[in-house]
Amino acid sequence: MGGLRGPGKARRKRSQPREACPYCRRPALFFHQCRYCDFFICQGCAEDNDKIFSCNSITWPCPACGKSNSF
């Protein structure tokens, strides 16, 4: 069991600007976010677009900036 956190620290409501995937326009729980630019894609689209997310499951090239991100 994890230790209790300090008392009285309510969970901060975090503002999440991106809640809908730009590809499928659906809200998703988890996004892959490029760490170099603002590109992001939901898990479902990532699996559908396996040319973006190639078989190499260690890195994925960002289609927006072309840099490699690691999972």
For Zn ion, the binding residues (CB under 5 A) are 21, 23-24, 34, 36-37, 39, 42, 45, 62, 64-65
Distance CA 46, CA 60 (A): 10
Shortest distance in whole angstroms from residue 17 CB to Zn ion = 16
Shortest distance in whole angstroms from residue 69 CB to Zn ion = 7
Is-contact 27 18, C-beta < 8 A?
A: no
Shortest distance in whole angstroms from residue 53 CB to Zn ion = 12
Closest CB to Zn ion among 7 and 26?
26
Residue 2: C-alpha distances to residues 5, 11, 51 (Å): 9, 17, 40
